[in-house]
Amino acid sequence: MNKEKLTDLQQCHKTSLSLPTAMIIKNESGYIVPSSSLHETYLVQESNTNCSCKFICTDCSNTCIHNYSCTCLDASVKWNMNKHIHLVCRYKFPVVQAESSSISNLSSLQSDLLIDEDNGTREADIIIIELCKKKKKCEKSLNVLTLSEEEEQFKKILEILDSVYSEEELKIVENSIKSIQRTLSANLAKKKNQFLTTENKCIPANKAVEPQKR
């Protein structure tokens, strides 16, 4: 079971490498991460920062599986350190550190590829790490890969930010970001309320009600 958890943890880190850290929005509650396949957002929060168990990701600065929580099913139900948590760790920790860890694992990943040449995920990992090694900038190299339609929108947002030159324009961008954060937070709260409402509907109608004390 322990070995299976560590394998899942490592695979989730590899999957997170296909996601750009630019898609993360930090707010007071934690880190908002949009879904890469659905029109949803997930909230990643720091939780048990003092845990010292063996379920750690060395590529994420030895982050423990208990250090973060995520509202997506993979983390909240299956208790995995999912790709959203790995993405937040890559966002928080220096690129150089992530790049160094990825390059050091290149030889082992290549061996895996020889064993299973049809495994598209491992092949993608090799391509990503090679780009990191050549360009010395993991984040920039990831942008060279084919991006989904959603990720293309994030690229456009970055281009808008790069075009800002005056204080007035910067103020407009800041106000827009605050508005987006409020909207996303409200949307997340709405989803939680809908979940609680659905959960309450599942309670049997004939369930005994405890009498109130007078």
3-state secondary structure of 134: helix
Instruction: Tell me phi and psi for residue 19, to 5 degrees.
Output: -105, 135
Look up the pTM and report it. 0.43
- Residue 85 CA to residue 74 CA, distance in Å, equals 11
Residue 16 contacts residue 90 (beta carbons within 8 Å): yes
- Tens digits of pLDDT across the chain (214 residues): 567 778 888 888 888 888 888 889 998 889 999 887 777 899 999 887 777 777 888 888 888 888 888 988 877 767 778 889 899 998 888 654 445 455 555 545 445 544 444 444 555 555 556 655 655 544 444 444 445 666 777 777 777 777 777 788 778 878 887 888 888 888 888 877 776 766 566 555 555 555 555 5
Token pair, residue 164, equals: 């800002």
C-alpha distance across the termini of the chain, in Å: 51
- Residue 175 CA to residue 170 CA, distance in Å, equals 9
Q: Count of CB atoms within 10 A of residue 165's CB?
A: 8
Q: Amino acid letter at 124?
A: A
